[in-house]
Amino acid sequence: MERAQPERYLLRLYIAGRSRLSQRAVVNVKAICREHLPERHILEVIDIEEQPELAGSHQIVAAPTLVKESPLPHRRFIGDMPKTSTILQGLGLDPES
Amino acid sequence: MPVEGSAHNRQKKEELLLRLHEAEAVLDAIRNGEVDAVVVRTPVGEKVFTLEGSYHPSCVLVETMNEGACTLAFDGTILFCNSRLCTMLDRPLPEILGEPFLRFVVPSDADAFDAILHKGRQERCSVEIRITTPEEKWIPVIFSCRPLDQDGKEGICAVITDLSEKIRLDETIASGNLAKSIIEQAGEVIVVCNEEGRVIRASQLTNDLLGKSPMGEHFDDVYRLTMGETERLFTVADPLQRRFRRNEEVRLKVAAETILYFLLNAAPLTDDGDRVIGCVVTLTDITYRKEAEKNLQRAREELEQRVAERTLDLARTVRELREKEHMLLQQSRLAAMGEMISNIAHQWRQPLNALGLIIQELPMVLEEGELTPEFLDQSVANAMMLVQHMSSTIDDFRNFFKPDKEKVPFRLSQVVGNAVKLIEASFDNREIEITLHFQDDPTIVGYPNEYSQVILNILNNAKDAVEARGTEKPMVEIRIAALGEKSLLTITDNAGGIPEEIIYKVFDPHFTTKDTQGTGIGLFMAKNIIEKGMNGRVSVRNTGTGAEFTIEV
């Protein structure tokens, strides 16, 4: 019986320039991806200070914000994402589930 | 469909709950200070407002500093990075954050970096390493770090100082200083001009040459350099328009009477983009060389003139020598003829007397009536015999004085006999005794008549000497001997010898002791005949009683 291919995750992280929490969010999200989604994720980092129109079209109200674009359902997380377990749960990667 | 409607409502409700949850999360995050920017929709589009506090004054300082700065986890992961470091690494911030710093270190410097990272957990330290850009450009940096306690987490704080500018600056300063030093100390005139042709740097020698500094002046105004032997002036526009000048001779008039000569080299100066930004002109003083060349030329001309003069002198001398030689030959010939006539005269005296007696006897016999045909026949026969004898004497002399054409073998005794025969009469007349001692009778190869002439000359000298000295019982001895393959002939007289102070000169041409009687040619010709013609040797010595001539052939 063939095992289904693990789903690829498309994640978008919206940050605000060089601010402290945004930088921390980048470090934290990269660490999660490297550890829990190796070889099966695409992470796009979008600076809303440089591209504020993208913030509007993606209904981003604050930064840093991580959006899980796929697989559905969409999920978004606000803040510098220090709590890995919360993020994993939100991404459907809860190790206990 | 109530079931479907109920499921739809439940789904809708879940979505709304989720959005509510997210909205609450946003509010909580803002309230808890977990966001650092909010997006506000305005009539002109979205605006991002960064919350106060996310940029602490120290953050502003870090962002505006000229060094790269970052915080690292103990494993080297980059947790924070300022914009200067992004610029140095030529990457956007998200590409750097969360990455191990080692990724941006040149591989050969990895060990040094690992060591400093380890040390940086404990203490402040620094190291020179090279970091790399995506285009693999290596940048030398000082990586300084120290331990950091950030939000309760331990880490490392690092400051990265770009050295490339400093190195470039140092190199520029060093090369600038080097160039300056070279130019100032150069033993040549070196002038650097800007693109307008104005002098911006010049060697010390330039000041010495002009008596003032040319700095800031236009090159063409300061240096009026005339090209080669023409009257055309060199202009700095040539190198500025990329026309190179290589080792061209130029002249510079520095005073009314002083002209200096130089070798000129001129080339444009270009920047990295090959744009002409000035030019360098060097002048090598060759005045001394030119002077030396002129002196050399003058000396050469003088030498040539002297050689020409000497050649003329030499030609004149050679001509004079030839004339003298010709004269000598003439004199020699005349002397020989004189000798011949003198000898013929001696030879003829006796037969002429006899002939005279015969002729005088005829009328006397006729008078006495005793002239018979037999007597007449006998007288004629006697007279004819005498005439024949005299005629043969002439033949002897003619043969003797005929020069030999080529070398032939001849017996020495025969040649000596012939010579003695010719002078016998004149020696007898003076009562000079000639003795011949033939120990051997060698045959030699040469010119017999000329050899005879040599003997004749020596014998004549002996005759003259005994006469002049009034020697009692004058005598001459001739000896012939063989000495190995050579013949040895000595002629000895008893006339007292030759004074020692002149004996070495007797073979010189025109040397004579006989005043007007002698020509000084006889012994000179004798030496020539024996030594040049027959590869022999003639010498003379005093025996005590007289002179002894020796001929070796």
The H or E element spanning position B88 is: helix B83-89
Cβ <8 Å between A20 and B54: yes
Residue B218 per-residue DSSP state? B
The β-bridge relationship of strands B276-285 and B259-270 is: antiparallel
Q: Which long-range contacts (CB under 8 A, 24 or more apart) does B499-504 make?
A: B500/B542, B503/B540, B503/B541, B503/B542
For residue B452, what is the domain's CATH number? 3.30.565.10
Q: For residue B195, which of B243, B236, B223, B234 has the smallest C-alpha distance?
A: B236
DSSP string, B324-392: HHHHHHHHHHHHHHHHHHHHHHHHHHHHHHHHHHHHHHHHHHHHTT---HHHHHHHHHHHHHHHHHHHH
* CB-based contact B429:B346 (threshold 8 Å): yes
Is the pLDDT higher at B45 or at B161?
B161
Query: B356, B391, B426 — which closes off a domain?
Result: B391
Other beta carbons less than 10 A from residue B118's beta carbon? 13
In this prediction, residue B469 has a pLDDT band, given cuts at 50, 70 and 90, of confident
Q: Are residues B237 and B340 in the same domain?
A: yes
Cβ <8 Å between A62 and B39: yes
Q: Are residues B267 and B386 in the same domain?
A: yes
Tens-digit pLDDT profile for residues B280-323:
999 988 888 888 988 999 999 999 999 999 999 999 999 998 88
Q: Is residue B171 in some structural domain?
A: yes
In this prediction, residue B422 has a pLDDT band, given cuts at 50, 70 and 90, of confident
Helices (H) and strands (E) in chain A, counts: 3, 5
Q: Is residue B243 in some structural domain?
A: yes
Q: What is the pLDDT of residue A2?
A: 46
* CB-based contact A23:B97 (threshold 8 Å): yes
The β-bridge relationship of strands B153-162 and B276-285 is: unpaired
Distance CA B445, CA B486 (A): 10
Cβ <8 Å between B59 and A79: no
The H or E element spanning position B165 is: helix B164-185
Average pLDDT over residues A49-67: 84
Is the pLDDT higher at B501 or at B325?
B501
Query: B391, B426, B443 — which closes off a domain?
Result: B391
Nearest to B36 among A47, A53, A63 (CB): A63
Cβ <8 Å between B78 and A27: yes
Q: What is the pLDDT of residue B478?
A: 93
Q: Are residues B66 and B181 in the same domain?
A: no
Q: Are residues B381 and B285 in the same domain?
A: yes
Residues 6+ apart with CB under 8 A from B446: B407, B408, B410, B533, B534, B536, B553
Average pLDDT over residues B441-447: 89
Q: Are residues B94 and B173 in the same domain?
A: no
**Phi, psi angles (nearest 5°) of residue B27:** -65, -45
* CB-based contact B390:B382 (threshold 8 Å): no
Q: Is residue B25 in some structural domain?
A: no
Q: Is residue B532 in some structural domain?
A: yes
- For residue B92, say if its preceding peptide bond is cis, omega within 30 degrees of 0: no
In this prediction, residue B52 has a pLDDT band, given cuts at 50, 70 and 90, of low
Distance CA B174, CA B172 (A): 5
Q: Are residues B416 and B545 in the same domain?
A: yes
Nearest to B55 among A19, A27, A56 (CB): A19
Q: Are residues B331 and B437 in the same domain?
A: no
Q: What is the tally of structural domains in chain B?
A: 3
Q: Is residue B476 in some structural domain?
A: yes
Q: Determine the structural domain holding residue B100 and report its residue range.
A: 53-162
Cα nearest neighbour of A52 on chain B: B46
Distance CA B511, CA B519 (A): 8
Strands across the sheet with A62-63, in order? Answer: A62-63, B37-42, B45-50
Cβ <8 Å between A79 and B81: no
Q: Is residue B528 in some structural domain?
A: yes
Q: Is residue B156 in some structural domain?
A: yes
Give the closest-approach CA distance of B27 to chain A in angstroms.
9
Q: Are residues B334 and B238 in the same domain?
A: yes
Give the closest-approach CA distance of B80 to chain A in angstroms.
6
**Is the ipTM value over 0.85, yes or no?**
no
DSSP-derived 3-state class of residue B283: strand
Tokens describing residue B421: 């025969």
Tokens describing residue B185: 């100390």
Is the pLDDT higher at B25 or at B152?
B25
Cβ <8 Å between A52 and B83: no
Nearest to A78 among B34, B48, B77 (CB): B34
Q: What is the pLDDT of residue A97?
A: 43
Q: Which chain B residues are closer than 8 Å to A22 by Cβ?
A: 36-37
Cα nearest neighbour of A32 on chain B: B98
Range picked from B121-130, B330-339, B498-507 for highest mean pLDDT:
B121-130
Q: Are residues B440 and B384 in the same domain?
A: no
DSSP string, B292-317: HHHHHHHHHHHHHHHHHHHHHHHHHH
Supply the angle between the helices B287-367 and B448-469 in degrees, to the nearest 10: 80
* CB-based contact A52:A43 (threshold 8 Å): no
Query: B162, B196, B218 — which closes off a domain?
Result: B162
Q: Are residues B118 and B178 in the same domain?
A: no
Cβ <8 Å between A79 and B35: yes
Q: Are residues B120 and B203 in the same domain?
A: no
Q: What is the pLDDT of residue A95?
A: 57
DSSP-derived 3-state class of residue B241: coil
Other beta carbons less than 10 A from residue B148's beta carbon? 17
Q: Which chain B residues are closer than 8 Å to A80 by Cβ?
A: 34
The β-bridge relationship of strands B475-483 and B433-438 is: parallel
Q: Is the pLDDT of residue A3 over 60?
A: no
Q: Are residues B267 and B350 in the same domain?
A: yes
Other beta carbons less than 10 A from residue A14's beta carbon? 28
Q: What is the pLDDT of residue B550?
A: 94
Q: For residue B343, which of B390, B304, B378, B377 has the smallest C-alpha distance?
A: B390
For residue B225, what is the domain's CATH number? 3.30.450.20
Q: What is the pLDDT of residue B100?
A: 93
In this prediction, residue A1 has a pLDDT band, given cuts at 50, 70 and 90, of very low
Q: Is residue B408 in some structural domain?
A: yes
Q: What is the pLDDT of residue A94?
A: 66
